[in-house]
Amino acid sequence: MGLQTYWTKRDFKKTPEPRGSPRKRARTGWSFVVQKHAASHLHYDFRLELDGVLLSWAVPKGPSFDPADKRLAMQTEDHPIEYGSFEGVIPKGQYGGGTVMLWDRGTWTPARDARKDLARARLKFTLDGNKLKGGWMLVRTRGGKYGEKKADRTWLLFKENDAYAKAGGRPIVDVAPDSVASGRTLDAIASARAHVWQSKLSVKQN
Ligand code: MN
């Protein structure tokens, strides 16, 4: 997809999100990040690095270690790699306005050829993150339930049955709700915003 849609949706004079650019050089290991995003509705943005961008899905309930939990994952626009280190506040009125937390991050490894898997809309992979581990699947659904218009971007994210799988119990989003980068809660990130912006202003003033 590239970053055109990402850029079109945002005004970089008004949001602290990175503008970013597609990465051309090959990197060792592919990154993944899950950002907890308190926008109009709380959701988890699940992002996998591939071909210089972060492929992205919005997962309303967040990932689950229970293989029986098939989580709705709506594919969204590709994001720049730099987005994977963004934690902060998107101003009200801007696209996706609200607090963004780095909920988990690490590396991912496709089980097969990732590009072929994506073309077949059936991506099998392992995650090595701080919170998320083991085998996972992203599978595109075939229309119906969520309407024809959205059918092409409606996927399900679920855990594979392996040593990391866990049926029942408290969901990982509740067991480990805070930032993997800073240990902060959503509220702490939201209230730190004023401080960060003030420090930038005071640099200019001094
Ligand atoms: Mn989001």
Q: How many Å apart are CA 15 and CA 143, to the nearest integer?
A: 34
Percent of the chain with pLDDT over 70: 85
Is residue 5's pLDDT more than 60? yes
**Centre of ligand 1 from the C-alpha of residue 124, in Å:** 23
Q: For position 146, what pLDDT does the model report?
A: 56
Report strand pairing: 53-59 vs 30-38: unpaired
CA distance from start to end of the chain: 43
43 Cα–ligand 1 center, Å: 6
Q: In this predicted model, what pLDDT tens digit does every residue of 22-40 receive, in sequence order?
A: 876 555 579 999 999 999 9
Q: Are strands 122-129 and 133-140 parallel, antiparallel or unpaired?
A: antiparallel
Distance of CA 204 from the midpoint of ligand 1 (Å): 31
Residues in the chain: 206
pLDDT tens for residues 60-79? 999 999 999 999 999 999 99
Q: How far apart are CA 11 and CA 13, in angstroms?
A: 5
Place of tokens 């989003």: 173
